[in-house]
Chains A and B, each alone.
Chain A
Amino acid sequence: TQLLEQSPQFLSIQEGENLTVYCNSSSVFSSLQWYRQEPGEGPVLLVTVVTGGEVKKLKRLTFQFGDARKDSSLHITAAQPGDTGLYLCAGAKNNAGKSTFGDGTTLTVKP
């Protein structure tokens, strides 16, 4: 069973459009991270959210952590081709040490 479900699995949009990707779980996490991975490289950390209901903004990216700390969303405004990549969410639990990753959303932004 997949602890973190990401949707959609694939998303292809035109430059300038807005999009939202989701990360859902039945488990509660003490913190949740979003990463972006480009082909042939390792994931790069975008943000960490720790408080239920927390919203963080990073330029055109808005991250939200659900009130119950079971889910999260990533919203991108006016997408650009440079946003293309695999977006991964990862959750950590208290004293569990490791983070568990979702299978990711592959985003393609066409010019």
Chain B
Amino acid sequence: NAGVMQNPRHLVRRRGQEARLRCSPMKGHSHVYWYRQLPEEGLKFMVYLQKENIIDESGMPKERFSAEFPKEGPSILRIQQVVRGDSAAYFCASSPREESGYTFGSGTRLTVV
């Protein structure tokens, strides 16, 4: 029973390029969450999605960032025109319902050069 799968594990992008981060939730989990983590800091909420719906995107920057969780396929976090400040670890988590604990993926470490 595979856990939450994130890919790629590491991603290097030049300033101005696009970054696409993928997340396949655990089987049976319909709630997907994206968090961002800077070194030696906690996780900052970005967006909460269910299939084909964005439930809460209050943590997403207004520009350049978008997320989707289509009916088929993984959830995608997309960052357009990346800047150095976007460098961070991005974690995806899934849960079977709200207010239950999360299962996290291993994260995607984005480095913008």
Q: Which residues of A come within 8 Å of B, CB atoms?
A: 6, 30-31, 33, 35, 40-45, 48, 88, 90, 92, 94-104, 106
User: Do A102 and B42 touch across chains, with their CB atoms under 8 A apart?
Assistant: yes
Which of B11-19, B63-71, B72-80, B101-109 contacts the other chain? B101-109
User: Do A45 and B101 touch across chains, with their CB atoms under 8 A apart?
Assistant: yes
User: Do B98 and A95 touch across chains, with their CB atoms under 8 A apart?
Assistant: yes
**Residue on A nearest B105 in the bound complex, by CB:** A42
- B4, B44, B99, B103 pick with most chain A CB within 10 angstroms: B99
Q: Find A100's partner among B45, B91, B99, B103 (CB 8 Å cutoff).
A: B45
User: Do B43 and A88 touch across chains, with their CB atoms under 8 A apart?
Assistant: yes
Bound CA–CA A65/B108 (angstroms)? 32
Bound CA–CA A92/B107 (angstroms)? 22
Bound CA–CA A24/B4 (angstroms)? 29
Known A88-B42, A104-B42, A106-B40: A42·B100 in contact at CB below 8 Å: no
Count, chain B residues at interface, CB 8 A:
26
Bound CA–CA A106/B93 (angstroms)? 21
Q: Binary interface profile of B, 78-113, with partner A (CB < 8 Å = 1, else 0)?
A: 000000000000010100001111111111000000
Q: Binary interface profile of B, 1-34, with partner A (CB < 8 Å = 1, else 0)?
A: 0001000000000000000000000000001010
Q: Which residues of B come within 8 Å of A, CB atoms?
A: 4, 31, 33, 35, 40-45, 48, 55-56, 59, 91, 93, 98-107
Bound CA–CA A45/B96 (angstroms)? 14
**Residue on B nearest A103 in the bound complex, by CB:** B42
B103: which A residues are within 8 A, CB to CB? 45
User: Do B41 and A97 touch across chains, with their CB atoms under 8 A apart?
Assistant: no
- Sample of 14 further A-B pairs with CB below 8 A, known A94-B99, A100-B45: A41-B106, A41-B107, A42-B4, A43-B43, A43-B91, A44-B104, A45-B103, A88-B42, A88-B43, A97-B98, A98-B56, A99-B45, A101-B45, A106-B40
A40: which B residues are within 8 A, CB to CB? 106
